Structure formats: C-alpha cells, structure tokens
Amino acid sequence: MAARKRVFDLLRTIDVASCRCPAHSHRGHFQVSDVTPTKDYAFEIKCSTVRYGLGVTREVGMDLVNLGAKNVCVMTDSNLVHLSPVKAVLNSLTKNGVNYQVYDKVRVEPTDSSFKEAIKFAKAGSFDSFLAVGGGSVMDTCKAANLYYCDPAAEFLDYVNAPVGKGKPVEVQLKPMIAIPTTSGTGSETTGVSIFDYEAIHAKTGISHAALRPILALIDPLHTLSLPEKVANFAGFDIFCHALESFTAIPYNERGPAPANPALRPSYQGSNPISDVWARFCLQTLRQYFARSVYNADDIDARSGMHLAATMAGVGIGNAGVHLCHGLAYPIAGLVKDYTPGDYGESPIIPHGLSVVLTAPGVFRYTGASDPDKHLEAAAILGADVSNKKQADAGAVLADTIIKYMDKMQIADGLAGVGYERGDIPALVRGALPQGRLLALSPLPQSEEDLSRILEDSMTVY
Ligand SMILES: NC(=O)c1ccc[n+]([C@@H]2O[C@H](COP(=O)([O-])OP(=O)(O)OC[C@H]3O[C@@H](n4cnc5c(N)ncnc54)[C@H](O)[C@@H]3O)[C@@H](O)[C@H]2O)c1
Ligand SMILES: [Fe+2]
C-alpha cells in the first residue's frame, strides 16, 4: 500500500516538476503546473563555509582582516574565557591588529534572560562583526545578539518560532559572524538555528532562519582536548540523535505543502539524499570513535573524528531537521528538577545531549514501521548484526542498538534516572506540543497519547 502511494506521489511529482526542455522531458511536452503542489517536490542544502584543520584557529585574525572588520564582538562563556581555545583566538586577533571586545557571560543552556543580557552588551557597542568561541550555548547566543543588534527596534518575541513567538522572517542584513566550536555536538556552526529556554513555559524554543547562519566555521580539533568527560559524552549523543533523526525524518517529498516562493521553504525540510550522506558518515564515525573520544581525553584521532562528525551532522540537521527526540527533549531539559550530572557546574541541569537520547529507544521503536529498511540500515552502521532481522522488528533492533551505546557510555536509566516520575508525563507532553515544527518532521504522525506512550516507554531504558 505504502509502495503504491509512493508511486502515485512520484508520478505527481514528475508531473509538476519535470524539465520543460524537450531534450530531457520524456513525454514530449511537460508543463510545470502553476498550482502549488500539496507536497513539496524539492529540497535545498545550505551550509556555512567550513574550514577544518588542527590549529586552524590561528587564521581567524586574518579572516577578520579580510572581511575588513574594525571592531569584533567576541562571545564566549565564563569557563572557556580562561582556557586555550579563547586564548588562541585572542592571540590571532591581537597579532593581526583586530580590535575586539569580549563578552564572557554566556549562560550554559541559555535562556531568554541570558540572551537579552548578551543582546544588551552588543547594542551598547559598535560592532561590525561577531565571533563565537564555544559550544552550542555560545554560538546560539551570538546568533541572537547579532540579530537584535542589527534590528534594534525588534521586540524579542518577533523572531522567536511560532507559536511561542511571531516567527517573523529575518529581512535585515546581519553582520558577518564566524563560529569556532569547542564542543563536538550541536553543529550550530553550520545552522541558522538559535535555541534557548523560554523561562515562562519552562521549555526550549528558538529562532530559526538561514540569515543567522555563520558565514564561516573554523573547525579546530585542538579545542576538544580540554573537553571534560561528561561534556564529550552528552555532546556526542547530540550528534548521535542528529544523525538518526535527520536520517529517519519524514522524506522531503512527503512533507507539505510546497512553498509558494522558494524563499519560504523551511530550513528543516525532511530527509533527503544529500543529508543522508552526512548522517551515514556520522553514524560510521560514532561507531569508530564515540567511546574512545569520551574515555581518552588525549586521543586526538578520536576527538578529531567526533569534531568533524558534529559539523557533518549539523549540515544534515540544518537542512533535513530533527524530530521526536528533540521535540520531547525541550520540556525534559526545561522542567529539570534537581539532577546534576557533574562537569556542568552546581545548578540542576539536563544537558541537551542527555535530554535528547533519553527517549531515543522509545522514539525509534515507535517510528520503525515508517521505513524499516532505513532503521535497520542505521542499526547496522552502528554495529548491529541485522542479517536475520525481520522488517517488523526494525524499530526494536535500532532501539536495542542505541541502548547498548547508552549503557557503554553510562547514561542515566531513562527519565526516572534524571528524576522524573510517571505523574510528570502530562506536563512533558504539554511542553512538547509547542515544538510543532519538529513533531511535524516525524516520519509518523503522532497524537498526544502517542507522545505519552513514548515517554512511558522511556521511564526506564535498561
Ligand atoms: N543551534 C543549533 O543548531 C543547536 C543544535 C543542538 C543543540 N543546540 C543547543 O546548544 C546548547 C548545548 O551546547 P553544547 O552541548 O555544545 O555545550 P555548551 O555550549 O552548553 O557547553 C557545555 C559546557 O562545556 C564547557 N566547554 C565547552 N567547550 C569546552 C572545551 N573545549 N573545554 C572545556 N570546557 C568546554 C562550557 O564552558 C560549558 O560549561 C544547548 O542550549 C542546545 O539546545 C543548538
Ligand atoms: Fe541537538
């Protein structure tokens, strides 16, 4: 039945999208319909320019000179400002005679208040460029600071994703932003996405527009040598879920409607053959290097491999998107009770990578039926023997494979392991509902009852 539907969809797609040129159109005189198709028929891949290499940070001062930068807003956090990544950056700026001011008060897992503090700092200066040195928290904060610096009259919620905010498209010209990631996880250096915890609803949301994307990402694995074990571990599971979710997201040509204008095509477009290449690469890298990189801080090959994989997965999610693990993770992180994992300070926190992987087994058990071949392929790349596995078991096979990784990396035993009880499930479901943009990318539609069942299934994992 599904195959038959795919054939009809394909024929419809060919009808609306075929080349009009007689040399390539095989039915003679195809016309491109003027009617906007109900399903999309195209996808596009956008990405920051990426430069990868050990020690490549030394070039950032020259990049800023090449841009004609006269005063750079450098953003980082209060921990990194004392560590070698920031020192390497500031050395390069000084050596190349670039003026800068440092903002080092980025909050780990930022909130709307911490974004507003950073925006205030930017507005008080006179900057012609932005430079983020840090993990996702720093890069996301820097994107927001650049946006509101360039549109000083905007209200904060104007650009925040609907339904929390107004989801206004970015039409002002932003200043050039360079990103230097120091964790191996978010891929934020390649995406037009900026995530924060909206305190009023205790759930994460964000700002999403291609204009936020850094113009250049310097991927320097040297920075990852100082990553604490837990940060390497949780950020690694962020890559893990980015790869699995973008690989299994609803296919781009089953998501709809097609936009009336290509400029309106969303950043998150569903799985597609190009994002799939990045996802497969990441899954292979995770199999090879994930555990090594977490448990051996000086294993430069493993840490470099993970650093590259994070960027690769960023290209994948930046265009394909993520779905249920991330949609559910936002309230899981936002409603944290008193869990403190270590390596993230004293305040309660469920770091992003941990919040996404806790439901991963339950999510992929649920989505397995949407495309058993892809779920089995992902499990096989991650090391499972799928030779005698039935299609009907694809979701369970991938879930078991994920659990093996979680066990090896000593991840808490599901939602109960980070302090949640069954009675918290309705609040977690309510917190996930505003993530409609992500939930819509799930390969299977889901009701509130389905989300509850996935959360129930995630209370314990082992
Ligand atoms: N924009 C996107 O596309 C995107 C995607 C996924 C996640 N995110 C967001 O990113 C945030 C998480 O970012 P993250 O996982 O990169 O971690 P992070 O930026 O929150 O940093 C975590 C901790 O690690 C420390 N740290 C970072 N690099 C270090 C280094 N090289 N050496 C020593 N310590 C270091 C930081 O100081 C901090 O204490 C979350 O808010 C999440 O929602 C954004
Ligand atoms: Fe993520």
Task: Output the pLDDT for position 54.
Answer: 97
- What number does the ligand 1 atom closest to the CA of 79 have? 37
Out of 78, 87, 183, mutate this one to test ligand 1's pocket (max ligand atoms within 8 Å of CB): namely: 183
pLDDT value of position 28: 41
Query: Rounded to the nearest 5°, which phi and psi values hold at 19?
Result: -65, 140
Residue nearest to atom 17 of ligand 1 (CA): 135
Judge if the beta carbon of residue 246 lies within 6 A of ligand 1.
no
3-state secondary structure of 411: coil
Distances (CA, A) of 248 to 191, 194, 254, 437: 19, 23, 13, 16
Write out the two tokens for 434.
């505003």
pLDDT tens-digit readout, 176-188: 999 999 999 999 9
Decide: 190 in ligand 1 pocket, CB within 6 A: no
Q: Which of 102, 89, 85, 84 is nearest to 63 (CA)?
A: 89
Ligand nearest to the CA of 212: 1
| Residue with CA closest to ligand 1 atom 3 | 188
Q: Which pLDDT tens digit goes with each residue over 291-327?
A: 999 999 999 999 999 999 999 999 888 899 999 999 9
- Please state, in angstroms and rounded to a whole number, the distance separating the CA atoms of residues 111 and 58: 31
Contact call for residues 112 and 56 (beta carbons, < 8 A): no
Ligand nearest to the CA of 185: 1
Q: What is the number of the ligand 1 atom nearest to the C-alpha of 191?
A: 3
Measured from the Cα of 235, ligand 1's closest atom is 15
* 271 vs 370: CA distance, rounded Å: 13
Sign of CA dihedral 299, 301, 307, 312: negative
Q: What is the distance between the alpha carbons of residues 154 and 334, in angstroms, rounded to a whole number? A: 26
> Tens digit of pLDDT for each residue in 110-153?
999 999 999 999 999 999 999 999 999 999 999 999 999 999 99
What separation in Å is there between the alpha carbon of 92 and the centre of ligand 2?
A: 30
Show me where the domains of the chain are located: 1-35, 55-219, 229-457
- For residue 80 and ligand 1, the question of a CB distance below 6 A is answered with yes
Q: Which ligand is nearest to the CA of 193?
A: 1
Q: Is the pTM higher than 0.85?
A: yes
3-state DSSP helix/strand/coil percent for the chain, to nearest 5? 50, 10, 35
Please give the structure tokens belonging to residue 29.
């005189």
| CA 307 to ligand 1 center in whole angstroms | 13
Split at pLDDT 50, 70, 90, the class of 266 is confident
Integer Cα distance of 384 and 322 in angstroms: 23
Ligand 1 within 6 A of CB of 220: no
Q: Judge whether 69 and 178 are in contact, CB under 8 Å.
A: no
Give the C-alpha separation, 204 to 434, whole Å. 9
pLDDT-derived band at 227 (thresholds 50, 70, 90) equals: very high
CATH of domain 229-457: 1.20.1090.10
Q: Is the peptide bond before 259 cis (omega within 30 degrees of 0)?
A: no
Strand bridging mode 129-134 / 99-106: unpaired
| 352, 355, 356, best to mutate for ligand 1 pocket (most atoms within 8 Å of CB) | 352
Residue nearest to atom 18 of ligand 1 (CA): 135
Architecture of domain 55-219 in this structure = 3-Layer(aba) Sandwich (3.40)
Q: Is 258 left (phi over 0), alpha (psi -120 to 50) or beta?
A: beta
Ligand 1 pocket check for 132: Cβ under 6 Å: no
